[in-house]
Amino acid sequence: MTETIRREPVAQTLEENYMPYVMSVILSRAIPEIDGLKPAHRKLLYTMFKMGLLKGNKTKSANVVGQTMRLNPHGDAAIYATMVRMSRGNESLLYPYVDSKGNFGKVYSRDMQYAASRYTEVKLEEICELLFADVDKGTVEFVPNYDGTDYEPLLLPVKVPTILINPNRGIAVGMASNIASFHLEDIVKATIALLKNPKANLLPLIKGPDFPTGAYCLEDEAVMKQVIEKGTGTFRLRAKAQIIEKENRIEVTEIPYGTTVEAIMDRIIVGVKDNAYKEISDVRDESDLKGLRLTIDAKRGTDMDQLLAKLYRDTPMEDTFSCNFNVLINAYPQQLGIRQLLIHWLDFRMDCVRGRLRYDINLDEKKLHLIKGLEKLLLDIDRVIALIRATPKEKDVVPALMKEFLLDEEQAEYVANIRLRNINREFIASRVKERQSLEDTIASNRELYDSEKGIKKFIENELKEILKKYRRPRKTELIAHVEEYVEEEVEMSEEPQILLLTQELYLKKIEKNQFDPKQEQRLKDGDEIVYQLESKEWGDLLIFTTEHRVFKLRVSECESVRPSELGIFLPHELGMNDGEEMVLALATDDYKGHVLFAFDRGKVAKIPLSSYATKTNRKLLVRAYDDSQSLVRALFLEEESSILLSRYERQKENWLLIDTELIPEKVTRHSQGVNVMRIGKSGRLTDMELTDASEKLKKFRSASIPSAGKVRRPFE
């Protein structure tokens, strides 16, 4: 049986198979709509609303998760995670939708895990009244759920622009959304201003974002204008920190939205290890039920203002929030600024108000129609009773009433269903009196329905009432400017420094004018000096190790020592591993020259020293040289020279003398190098050293590589 291979263009395959997935992610998962909710949020909240959790007592989260599965085909873990992010306990939203009891984690903590759904309890927050007001009165469209067994709203008829009062993030395919939250009062005032004039200046009304985690936001008029008009821009956020001078302590109580207290701690700990924060003695997370608190202890004599400024510069204590206001408008993704978002929301809200008015008018007209039927019976109640009694069959009662009193079917059905106790003149008269009230209400609603100006005024009054009820202080404080950290210029000595490095990895730094080569240096028993290097104060000491790493230490950060002192123990200072040994040490202040690495299979890698230079003060670089071969020797080459390589095979030793110019430069640090000396199956390269290429070595010279070299005689 032969297998048939069908060939299709790539574009066609992508369109038929991948594009449906792309559209599903964009429209049904990741991008919020004009009501400020993604489908997962809407399904969960509507399920809680139907469960009576807007007014009732809390219920176990697991109950809500189970019920939500009727609308949401995702697993319980995904549904519960969505609930957690909307809860008051998690603090992800400026105006939480879920009133929670139990451990729901914290948005500002990476490691604090929320409890399982069987342990926590939830209900809807009071503000959800604004989400579900008149939801069942024709304000929004309802559609079948995924299996056609229930109905759910396409949108919620939100009475306030929730799209801008709660932060919202989503990553789709080919697009993402990142919406900042703003102060409710600012958004309400801006919405009212746009009701009156779509071109109103919103800049004086919306000065900056307001995030659930508080902190500071730097005021920037240019950024705010861009966010208002285009929906893009980056806000600069700073943690709130208090300096306690008497105790040399900094307490951080609010951090930028989007970062975590663990991320800040991790960065500080790395900085302490790298000697970037020599002033810090301890850092710890003291967060408790009262809220976040990160404590940083400093050493005595520390300039606390400078330390705080440095932490802002180097850690996530200062972060940014990049706005990207992508929203679905009528199932079409658009990037909109605050102005256009609010205009679209006003159009949506006006449709909701019209829908509710239409519903009320229809309902009142039906009532009025029934009351008009009752009016015809007001003076003939006895005749109605007699007619019903004289009708032999129940099914004939309605047709008889229709014929006798000239009623339509609805009116006759209503009369026939009146309870016996209500068939009296008082009941019918009281119903008839409602006619005028209903006619007035219908006329008023029709007038409002036909008046765009009237609907706008209605929405304005509604927003003002909402603001009175839900106004609360701003959490994120807006500041005009911040103190920047200025690196103190340290005067460095122009005098060259002598660096003595021992076999046991002790380092001594001595000024050259104070160094006496004949003076005896104190060393540990059995230790010896293996490197005597010279460098400027601003130079770096590089130490290559057997674990294919290079450690960097600034000469200026090393303290000068006396000959009677052992010096700095580098394994402890640099954080080297147990058993990690040095293969090469060099000092440089300009990163000129090359490093040569010779490997046992005859390859040599010539790496420019500039490949190890970094813009930041990094203390460690991994994969400093190739880790797929056994290193034989590493040399520092200040300028092109001659090297002598030796190979041992079958009890014979070959030497090869070449100029380093023959070895091509490899910029990649972990390059395998090039073949320089040909090695047999049982042979290996045993050594490489710099040489002055004396007359007696010239017979081993080769003008090309790779070369096997020549056999070395015992007397040579």
Closest CA to 530 of 591, 593, 581, 578: 581
Is 293 in contact with 286 (CB distance < 8 Å)? yes
Which residues have CB under 8 Å from 176's CB, separation 6+?
Answer: 30, 169, 170, 324, 326
Number of domains in the chain: 4
Question: Is there a single domain that holds both residue 54 and residue 99?
Answer: yes
Q: What is the C-alpha to C-alpha distance for residues 624 and 548, in angstroms, rounded to an integer?
A: 5
Instruction: Establish if 228 belongs to a structural domain.
Output: no
Q: What is the model's pLDDT at position 715?
A: 53
663: its two tokens = 């070895």
Instruction: Establish if 480 belongs to a structural domain.
Output: no
Question: Is there a single domain that holds both residue 515 and residue 645?
Answer: yes
Is 624 in contact with 580 (CB distance < 8 Å)? no
Instruction: Establish if 112 belongs to a structural domain.
Output: yes
Q: What is the model's pLDDT at position 273?
A: 85
Q: For strands 121-124 and 98-101, give the pairing.
A: antiparallel
Active-site residue, 21 included: no
CATH number at residue 391: 1.10.268.10
Q: What is the model's pLDDT at position 430?
A: 75
Query: Could you please report the per-residue DSSP string of 282-329?
Result: EEEE--BTTB--EEEEE-TT--HHHHHHHHHHHSTTEEEEEEE-EEEE
Question: Is there a single domain that holds both residue 654 and residue 554?
Answer: yes
Instruction: Establish if 691 belongs to a structural domain.
Output: yes
Is 158 in contact with 127 (CB distance < 8 Å)? no
Q: What is the C-alpha to C-alpha distance for residues 131 and 111, in angstroms, rounded to an integer?
A: 32
Q: What is the model's pLDDT at position 716?
A: 58
Which is catalytic among the residues 18, 21, 119, 151? 119
* Residue after which a domain boundary falls, among 157, 186, 216: 157
Q: Burial of 704 by CB count in 10 Å (0-12 exposed, 13-18 middle, 19+ buried)?
A: exposed
Question: Is there a single domain that holds both residue 465 and residue 557?
Answer: no
Q: Burial of 559 by CB count in 10 Å (0-12 exposed, 13-18 middle, 19+ buried)?
A: exposed
Question: Is there a single domain that holds both residue 144 and residue 57?
Answer: yes
Question: Is there a single domain that holds both residue 371 and residue 412?
Answer: yes
Q: For strands 176-179 and 59-60, give the pairing.
A: unpaired
> Which CA distances in Å does 141 have to 155, 157, 343?
7, 10, 20
Is 32 in contact with 85 (CB distance < 8 Å)? no
Q: Which residue has the tokens 């015809």?
A: 376
* Residue after which a domain boundary falls, among 141, 157, 173: 157
Question: Is there a single domain that holds both residue 246 and residue 392?
Answer: no
Q: What letter would DSSP give residue 645?
A: E
Read off φ and ψ for residue 546, nearest 5 degrees.
Answer: -70, -10
Q: For strands 332-335 and 59-60, give the pairing.
A: unpaired
- The pLDDT averaged over each successive group of 10 residues in the chain (716 residues) is 69 76 74 93 95 93 94 89 95 95 94 93 96 92 91 94 93 85 96 95 94 93 93 93 91 94 93 86 91 92 88 91 92 93 96 94 90 75 80 84 84 79 71 82 92 94 95 93 59 74 88 81 86 85 91 83 84 83 89 91 91 76 88 90 86 86 88 88 87 77 85 68
Query: H or E segment at 244?
Result: strand 240-244
Instruction: Establish if 586 belongs to a structural domain.
Output: yes
pTM for the predicted model, two decimal places: 0.69
Question: Is there a single domain that holds both residue 310 and residue 378?
Answer: no
Instruction: Establish if 250 belongs to a structural domain.
Output: yes
Question: Is there a single domain that holds both residue 574 and residue 697?
Answer: yes
Instruction: Establish if 183 belongs to a structural domain.
Output: no
Q: Which residue has the tokens 């959490």?
A: 475
Question: Is there a single domain that holds both residue 677 and residue 553?
Answer: yes
CATH number at residue 290: 3.30.1360.40
Q: Which residue has the tokens 């622009």?
A: 161
Q: What is the C-alpha to C-alpha distance for residues 121 and 119, in angstroms, rounded to an integer?
A: 7
Domain membership of residue 563 as a residue range: 497-711
Instruction: Establish if 195 belongs to a structural domain.
Output: no
Q: For strands 642-649 and 684-691, give the pairing.
A: antiparallel
CATH number at residue 523: 2.120.10.90
Query: Could you please report the per-residue DSSP string of 428-459?
Result: HHHHHHHHHHHHHHHHHHHHHHT-HHHHHHHH
Q: Is the dihedral of CA 497, 502, 508, 511 positive or negative?
A: negative
Is 570 in contact with 576 (CB distance < 8 Å)? yes
Q: What is the model's pLDDT at position 573?
A: 80
Is 82 in contact with 95 (CB distance < 8 Å)? no
* Residue after which a domain boundary falls, among 469, 488, 516: 469
> Which CA distances in Å does 369 have to 302, 375, 376, 401, 428?
84, 10, 12, 16, 14
Question: Is there a single domain that holds both residue 533 and residue 657?
Answer: yes
| In 197-277, alpha helices (H) | 221-230, 261-273
Q: What is the C-alpha to C-alpha distance for residues 693 and 703, in angstroms, rounded to an integer?
A: 13
Question: Is there a single domain that holds both residue 430 and residue 570?
Answer: no
Beta-strand ranges (E) seen in 572-698 are 582-588, 594-599, 603-608, 620-621, 631-637, 642-649, 652-659, 674-675, 684-691
CATH number at residue 126: 3.90.199.10
Q: Which residue has the tokens 């069942």?
A: 136
